[in-house]
Amino acid sequence: MSIRHAGRARRVAVAVATSALVVGLAPTASATDEPTRRGLAPGIFDAESAMTPNVEHRSTTPRTEQAADRTNSDMAFTDGHVIVGNYGGFNIYDVADADSPRLVSTVACPGNQHDVSVEGDLLFVSVQTYNTSYTDCTTSANATNERFAGIRVFDISNKARPQQVAAVQTCRGSHTHTYVPDPAGESAFLYISGTSSVRRDAPGAALGCRTASSGQTPYEDDARWRIDIVEVPLARPQDAVLLADGPRLMAEDGRIDGLQQSPPTPLHPSGPDHRRRGIWSPSPVSDACHDITAYPELGLAAGACEGNGLLIDITDPRNPQRVAAVADGNFAYWHSATFNNDGTKVVFTDEWGGGGQGYCTEAERPEWGANGIYDVVRGDDGSIDLEFKSYYKIPPDQEWNEICVAHNGNLIPIPGRDVMVQAWYQGGMTVFDFTDSSNPVELAWFDRGPIQTDPDGAQQRGGFWSAYWYDGMVYGTDITRGFDVLELSGSDELTQNEIDAALTVREDQTNPQTQARYEHPASFALVRASLDQLVRVDGIGDKALTKIERSLDQAQGAADRGRSKQAVTFLGFVERDLGAVEATDVRAAVAALKAELS
């Protein structure tokens, strides 16, 4: 990979809404007899729910007693288990039975955020602020215990009895973190995104945490305008250490605070007549990253860094370098990022309102609190940049007191397409296609009524913090209710064959903020999914399709009976009947399957 660090000549690009840009409310793939998100009855476990016909709600597991009054947060996945963070600790569930997830263990360890990721038998847990958190997971200080904000490391080799093995303090806590593997295989590198005020307690003093006062020139060693990196030796995780000199990803023109340091306009574009009176919330000032998503195989990461979206070269995990930055006058708070599978696109989210406002009503424009979809553009000289293509937002069907804005999601491994599942707080869960980055389309959704039962009552936090695909199911952490399991089924726009092909992609371990390239093994599902996609674009005639489907059925029947040679012969008929049709993906899938059966 050839990546250069852009110098003074590169300016920070700004995406704005103009008539030339695609801006739209998630167009549904089919408008006939669609269920509606509007007017759902409120409640907690008795709230009315609605979903598209291709979504089945399999189960809801209520919050544990340890998390009863605590926020459910993020998830990580390992070996058929889901680790669910919450502000009181974390829970580990065995999800072999989607209808009845089994609680394996509960760890009480107070501290907010509890963003989680996993590597082998190690679990990493973020702690944002130290007002309720102590190094040993208790709730009070003692002679060997001190207030804690940073990253915890747990040994989960025995998932029934996780044990903390390290706790690494940082100057601004750890709002989120991103696991980046060591090319040498010896360490785990954790990119720490701390968004709290710079701490002034005793542990902070020991770390040398300091920051300039408002309006002053930043100190050279200022704890803001950087990320931190914690290195965890895999063989000795108890020796986890904060590396010195956190990377200055916001530096520009000789200043460590060189990216966006004030809102692009005095008021948010929603204007003074909006119910929030145009308040920028949170303020898009880039003195930290909120979240970073790494794609190690590409040597890249995408940083959602409050006032900017970044591309970062991570080929040297100890020394990441910014290679591109963008800003957007409609974005209040760059929150998270997701690459597509081949790394040619990035979906950035805008958490306008900080997860505390209902911004999915008809009062808000579709480019506010939405996803921004960017193409990753590579120059002949090895340069790399981000090019804005469109916004994606769910329809404005929520009530004013349903907290709703773009939040966490990941890819669904549909072959030949870019498909993502995503949480929207009380806006529920959406599945959308962004293969055409200028024209994203919603494929499926699930929603519940408001948590607030009084239509005139104040907003109450709740809804999906995260919605992620893992080994065939969609898992959602509902902030207030608990832990949900959803399943997708076929429709015209996302067929069962495409879903079946996605099911062939299995991962022992999934950290949504550490993307791994997925590849589909040879299968009849992959052939049929590719054929469905050809049919969707009218790429094949009915007569040829009938013959191909018959040969495919015969080939699969032969394979099921153990007659591989006969199956290969029938697959040859498929190739013959494709004739001169432009069907690259189908041909490739057939060739791979023939090779597998030969």
Domains in the chain: boundaries:
13-510, 524-597
CA distance 539 to 526: 17
- Cα 597 to chain centroid, rounded: 36
13-510 in CATH: which number? 2.130.10.10
First to last CA, the chain: 35
Query: How many Å apart are CA 322 and CA 247, to the nearest integer?
Result: 9
Note down pLDDT in tens along the chain; length 598 residues: 322 222 323 334 444 333 334 454 555 444 446 799 999 999 999 999 999 999 999 999 999 887 777 899 999 999 999 999 999 999 999 999 999 999 999 999 999 999 999 999 999 999 999 888 999 998 877 767 899 999 999 999 999 999 999 999 999 999 999 999 999 999 999 999 999 999 999 999 999 999 998 888 899 999 999 999 999 999 999 999 999 999 999 999 999 999 999 999 999 999 887 766 688 999 999 999 999 999 999 999 999 999 999 999 999 999 999 999 999 999 999 999 999 999 999 999 999 999 999 999 999 999 999 999 999 999 999 999 999 999 999 999 999 999 999 999 999 999 999 999 999 999 999 999 999 999 999 999 999 999 998 888 888 999 999 999 999 999 999 999 999 999 999 999 999 999 999 999 999 999 999 999 999 999 999 999 999 999 999 999 999 999 999 999 999 999 999 999 999 999 999 999 999 899 999 999 999 999 999 9
Nearest to residue 263, comparing CAs of 247, 284, 246? 284
What confidence score (pLDDT) does residue 33 get? 64
pTM assigned to the model: 0.94
> Which stretches within 478-541 are classed as H helix?
496-503, 524-536
What element of type H or E holds 588? helix 584-597
**Neighbour count for residue 566 (Cβ, 10 Å):** 16
Place of tokens 């930290």: 288
Q: What is the pLDDT of residue 11?
A: 35
CB 260 within 8 A of CB 240: no
**How far apart, in whole angstroms, are the C-alpha atoms of residue 153 and residue 428?**
31
So what's the pLDDT on residue 26?
A: 57
Q: Which of 479, 373, 469, 347 is nearest to 424 (CA)?
A: 479
Place of tokens 């100057």: 171
Distance separating alpha carbons of residues 114 and 439, to the nearest angstrom: 35
- What is the spatial distance between Cα 102 and Cα 99, in angstroms, rounded to a whole number? 10
Residue at token pair 């059925």: 553
With the C-alpha atoms ordered 123, 126, 130, 133, is the resulting torsion angle positive or negative?
negative
Q: At CA 370, angle to CA 365 and CA 372, rounded to 5?
A: 120
Sorted by sequence, the CB contacts under 8 Å of residue 305 that are 6+ apart come out as 249, 250, 259, 286, 288, 289, 290, 334
Task: Examine residue 282 and say whether the peptide bond preceding it is cis (omega within 30 degrees of 0).
Answer: yes
